[in-house]
Each structure stands twice: as structure tokens, then as C-alpha cells.
Amino acid sequence: MAGGIEIKTADEIAYMREASLIVWEVLEQLEKAVAPGVTLEELDAIAERETVQRGAVCAFKGLYGFPKNICISVNEQVVHGIPTRRKLVEGDLLKLDYGVIKRGWYGDSARTIPVGKVSPDARKLVEATRDSLEKGIRAMVEGNRISDIGAAIESHVAPMGYGIVRDYVGHGIGKKLHEDPQVPNYGPARWSRGQPNPRLRAGMVLAIEPMINLGTHEVETLPDGWTVVTRDGKLSAHWEHTIAITGNGPQVLTRP
Ligand code: MG
Ligand code: MG
């Protein structure tokens, strides 16, 4: 432990790598299946099938009571959408957020997928969010602090006028999906008072996940108790990777 944050051994990170690569493989299969006319429930079934085939467990099913295998959010939905019979249509902005457990270890990753041709605004939002995650990852070096990750993300997207979701943040990950610390996607100026800001150390494994809105940063939860949407109904994008901090810099576990 360091500042309340678990330090993983090289062997433990190798287990997390195995889980994380399964997440990547399943997301690849899902992305191939995305097309107008496909239902969100069909994607949910593919996630389950591809995960079971790889000897892993869908991490979100039943977690905190979540009813499905994967979180699927569309357009103004930010995170935690429940797969339904809704059919994708050309121009939708689809967010897939997925996690698995393998040998007791978690991997967690999200990506935003345009369905067919989307608006230029949507495309720019998706690219800016993905690029902001890469900036955050580059800040994950020993000696930096947790706040350097969010500051890097914020400095990339804030000049574009986007809203950075504050109610949901990145997190430590390991034998639990959500471990300490919380990792906000914005710099410490807007952190709540007393939020710990420890230095990054080799062996920490964090899931970094900017959720970036075309308009306001404000979000609300639908009456289903799960689906988080933008308060102004504008689009949102979400990218996430599980990353280990090593002596040689950040190692993204959820991609090859
Ligand atoms: Mg996730
Ligand atoms: Mg996560």
C-alpha cells in the first residue's frame, strides 16, 4: 500500500493484463458487430458469449445490482446505460463500457463508436476525448501526482469548450473493480476539499476514463436508476483504459 493505494506485484499486473486483453478482444468483437439495425441487447449477448468463450466472467453483471453484462450508452447518455431492444441508427454515438474478471482480477475499458456517419461535432468530440485519455496516460509516471492526470485531460479538452463530467471519475482497480484512489478528469482547482492527491508509484493500476460532453458538464440519472444523461441533452463521449504504472512509464493493459 502507498497512501491507501494498493501496489501490485509484477505477477499481479500480469494477471490484470490477461483480464484486460480479454476486455480489449471483446470490445473488438463488439465494434465489428456495430451497425444500424443492431439492438443493444444483441451486443450484450455478444459480450457475454465472447467473455465466456475466453474463460472469463462479465464483471458488471450483478455489480451493485446492474442487470446486464455490459454498459451501453447512446448519444446524450453518458455512462451506465442498460442494454435494451433499442436499435442503433445511422448517426448514433455509441459508448461501450466493459469489464471482465479473470482469475479474480479485473480489467475495465470503454470506447466510443460512431454508428455509420456522424456529425462533424460528434466526430470532433470523440477524437478530443480519446486524445485527452492519451494525454492523461502520458502523465502516469512515477513522481507525478494523481492530479497531474486530470490536469492533462482538462488542459486538452477545456479549450474546446467541452464539459468535463465531474460526478463520475477514474479509479484504482485490481481484485475489485473500484479501488482507491478516485481519479478526477480535471485539475485540483475543482477538487473537493481534502481529496487525497498522492504521488504515483510503480505498481499502481488505475482505470482512467474521461467522460466529455459537447455542452454542460452537468449530468442526471434517468428513472431506471442507472442511465446517466447530460442535463442539456447534448452528446457525450467516453474512453477508458486500465493502466499500470511501471518503472518504465505507463503500460496500457487494455490494448495489445
Ligand atoms: Mg469502465
Ligand atoms: Mg471504470
pTM score, two decimals?
A: 0.98
**Separation CA 169–CA 150 (nearest Å):** 10
**Would you say 203 and 245 are in contact if contact means Cβ atoms under 8 Å apart?**
yes
Give me the pLDDT at residue 105, please: 98
Give me the pLDDT at residue 180, please: 96
What's the 66 CA to ligand 2 centre distance in angstroms? 14
Q: What are phi and psi of 126, to 5 degrees?
A: -60, -45
Closest-approaching ligand to the CA atom of 79: 1
What's the 241 CA to ligand 1 centre distance in angstroms? 8
Closest-approaching ligand to the CA atom of 173: 2
pLDDT at 14 over 80: yes
Q: pLDDT band for position 1 (50/70/90)?
A: confident
What's the 114 CA to ligand 1 centre distance in angstroms? 18
Q: pLDDT band for position 2 (50/70/90)?
A: confident
In DSSP terms, 105 is beta-bridged to 102
CATH of 10-252, one of 3.90.230.10, 3.40.50.80, 3.60.110.10, 3.40.50.2300: 3.90.230.10
Give me the pLDDT at residue 3, please: 72
What's the 71 CA to ligand 1 centre distance in angstroms? 8
Closest-approaching ligand to the CA atom of 207: 2
What's the 102 CA to ligand 1 centre distance in angstroms? 16
* pLDDT per position as a tens digit, 114-136: 999 999 999 999 999 999 999 99
User: Rounded to whole angstroms, what are the CA distances from 2 to 16, 175, 177, 197, 202?
Assistant: 19, 17, 18, 12, 10
What's the 96 CA to ligand 1 centre distance in angstroms? 8
Neighbours of ion ligand 2 (CB under 5 A): 108, 207
Give me the pLDDT at residue 221, please: 98
pLDDT, mean of residues 81-110 = 98
pLDDT at 169 over 80: yes
What's the 208 CA to ligand 2 centre distance in angstroms? 7
pLDDT, mean of residues 88-112 = 98
Q: Which of 3, 206, 251 is nearest to 108 (CA)?
A: 206
Closest-approaching ligand to the CA atom of 99: 1
Cell numbers found for residue 22: 480479454
Closest-approaching ligand to the CA atom of 96: 1
pLDDT at 32 over 80: yes
**Would you say 183 and 149 are in contact if contact means Cβ atoms under 8 Å apart?**
yes
Give me the pLDDT at residue 16, please: 98
Closest-approaching ligand to the CA atom of 66: 1
pLDDT at 70 over 90: yes
pLDDT at 216 over 90: yes
Q: Which of 89, 90, 128 is nearest to 112 (CA)?
A: 128
Rounded to the nearest integer, the mean pLDDT of the chain is 97
Give me the pLDDT at residue 4, please: 82
**Separation CA 255–CA 239 (nearest Å):** 13
What's the 185 CA to ligand 1 centre distance in angstroms? 14
* pLDDT per position as a tens digit, 237-253: 999 999 999 999 999 99
